[in-house]
Amino acid sequence: MNIETAKRILLLYRAGTSDADDPEFAGALQLARQEGELRQWLAEQSTVREIIRVRFKQIQVPEGFKEQIISERPWKTLVVSRQEIFALVAFVGVALLLGFVLLWSRPHAPENKLLAFENRMVSSALRNPDYGMDLITNDLNQIRAYLAEHHAQADYTLPAGLSKAVPIGCVITSWEGNSVTMICFKTGRALSPGENSDLWVFVMDQKALSNSPGNSPEFAKVNRATAATWTQDDKVYVLAVDGDEELLRNYF
Amino acid sequence: MAAKLDFDALVACYYRPLYQFAYSLTRAESDACDLTQQTFYIWATKGHQLRDDSKVKTWLFTTLHRQFLETRRRHNRFPHQELSEVEAELPTVSPQTFGQLDSAQVMKALSKLDEVYQAPVALFYLEDYAYKEIAEILEVPLGTVKSRLARGIAHLQKLLADDLSAESKATM
């Protein structure tokens, strides 16, 4: 290698970089260590290179340019790769499938049978106060006899307060295949045309309910009516009035 | 995956060297800004395709250079200048004289180089890339990069030396 060839090689040499590992440079550098002229030339070249490098680095970036790039960041940065989309779709699919499986396999929450019974009876009474009574009479004894004769719930115990109301008849109905006795009363308030009763008692065997009420009346609103439920002597009672709780409490 | 790199952090790291490279190629602030922004835009939309995080910087420079070439093809804004011949002799340079240079003079001299030399020369001075990496960025063979650099650097130094010499004569 002569000096001219070495100069052409070392023109690209940058001290302090990975260039030193290049075998082509190593040979030229070796020669530079031996030849004073080449060594001097290399030193000057290194200085010139550094001067030009600094001038390149002095190129001024416009003020606020970085912030501008970031602020104008395209929405597509949110675009995910095809693999990520597949993964997302797969995840959603598995999650939905799992959800359906859980939904169908989970044990059903225990149904509140008492509430269902209470709602059904009271709502029916409100919709049809006459209820197509099987027996129309103001005599409670006749009502009990009629019920007994027709194998309905007849050995009930009515709250003492019901003596203040006027019985008008009874209905033998059913709920989920269980016989229900319905006795209709009037509170004495003025009734709307077509209404003959506004106070009702429902009696059903306690065995028909998995969650029968306690022995003391429990009051609750059912639509515009108020109802009280309790258990006595293996029977479930619902006493409902087309009115508020205060009115209903008069009949206990 | 590379796309998970934080966009803001990526911009903070590379906007300056990318802009300087772009400016070296275009010598116009607005064009350099456009190229740099376009590069980050492409990163934002396609960067997720890059698997190797360590290649991000090279990817950005490559993309910027591609955009530059594409823009130049579309608009033909940069007339081709032939470099007549490879300098028969290497320029005689004086560090003391070159110390008087400023960035504008360097950019002006760079603009006089044939286009094929401008990008490698800019990368040579701006970044301490290995020649293999410069070859990757410019998507040309390693040998081509080295020969273009040798010619480009020699010619640039000659242009600068001539410029300084003319300046010196003018002030006399």
The Cα–Cα gap between B38 and B45 comes to 11
pLDDT tops 70 at residue B103:
yes
Residue in A51, A79, A84 nearest the CB of B95: A51
Distance of CA A180 to the CA centre of its chain: 38
CB A181, CB A172: distance < 8 Å: yes
Does the reported pTM lie above 0.80? no
Coil, helix or strand at residue B120: helix
Residue B78 has a pLDDT of 46
Secondary structure in 3-state letters for A137-168: CCCHHHHHHHHHHCCCCCCCCCCHHHHHCEEE
Asked whether the beta carbons of B156 and B24 are under 8 A apart, the reply is: no
pLDDT of residue B83: 41
Q: Which of A87-91, B9-13, B15-19 has the lowest mean pLDDT?
A: A87-91
Enter the tokens of residue A28. 């030229």
Span B57-61, average pLDDT? 92
Q: Quick one: average pLDDT of A2-10? A: 87
With vertex at residue A220, the alpha carbon angle to CA A217 and CA A221, rounded to the nearest 5 degrees, is: 145
Burial of A89 (0-12, 13-18, 19+ CB in 10 A): exposed
Is some CB atom of chain A closer than 8 A to the CB atom of B25? no
pLDDT surpasses 70 at A84: no
DSSP letter for A240, please: E
How large is the ipTM? 0.80
Give the burial class of A168: count Cβ atoms within 10 A of its Cβ; 0-12 exposed, 13-18 middle, 19 or more buried: buried
Q: Residue A81: what pLDDT? A: 57
Which DSSP letter does residue A233 get? T
> Which position has the higher pLDDT, A225 or B30?
A225
Average pLDDT of the residues in B66-70: 88
The shortest CB-CB distance from A65 to any of B1, B33, B105 is to B33
- Pairing between strand A235-241 and A225-232? antiparallel
Q: Are B130 and B138 in contact (CB under 8 A)?
A: no
CA A53-A58-A63 angle, 5° bins: 150
Residue (of A167, A202, A163, A165) closest to A187 by Cα position: A165
CA dihedral A17, A19, A23, A27 (to 10 degrees): -90
Q: Which of A136, A55, A60, A5 is nearest to B122 (CA)?
A: A55
Q: Quick one: closest CA in B to A59, which residue?
A: B20
- pLDDT tens digit string along B114-160? 888 899 999 998 887 888 889 889 988 888 888 889 889 999 998 98
pLDDT tens digit sequence for A139-181 = 999 999 999 998 899 999 999 999 999 999 998 888 888 899 9
- Provide the pLDDT for residue A240: 94
Residues of A with CB under 8 A from a CB of B: 4, 7-8, 11-12, 14, 16-19, 22, 44-45, 47-49, 51-53, 55-59, 61-62, 65-66, 68-70, 72-74, 76-77, 79-81, 84
Count how many Cα atoms sit within 13 Å of the Cα of residue A210 in the half-sphere of its side chain. Answer: 6
pLDDT reading at B87 higher than 50? no
Average pLDDT, stretch A212-228? 90
Which CA distances in Å does B86 have to A134, A171, A218, A227, B149? 121, 118, 107, 108, 11
Q: In what helix (H) or strand (E) does residue A222 lie, and over which residues does it extend?
A: strand A218-222
Q: Rounded to a whole number, what is the distance in Å from the CA of B172 to chain A's nearest CA? A: 24
Chain B residues in contact with A66 (beta carbon < 8 A): 11-12, 15-16
Residue-level pLDDT at B4: 52
**Helix residue ranges, H only, chain B:** 7-26, 29-46, 56-75, 95-98, 103-111, 115-126, 131-138, 142-171
Put simply, whether B97 touches A (Cβ < 8 Å) is no
Is B44–A76 a contact, with Cβ atoms under 8 angstroms apart? yes
Residue from the list A58, A72, A76 with its beta carbon closest to the beta carbon of B45:
A76
In chain A, pLDDT over 70 holds for what percent of residues? 91
In this complex, which of A11, A76, A77 lies closest to B150 when CB atoms are compared?
A: A11
Q: How far, in Å, are A57, A145, A157, A181 from residue A149 at the CA level?
A: 111, 6, 17, 13
pLDDT over 90, % of chain A: 28
Q: How confident is the model at residue A19 (pLDDT cuts 50, 70, 90)?
A: confident
CA distance A1 to A55: 33
- On the question of pLDDT at A82 being above 70, the answer is no
User: Could you give all domains of chain B from N- to C-terminal order, each with its CATH number?
Assistant: 2-75 (1.10.1740.10), 95-171 (1.10.10.10)
The DSSP output letter for A58 is: T
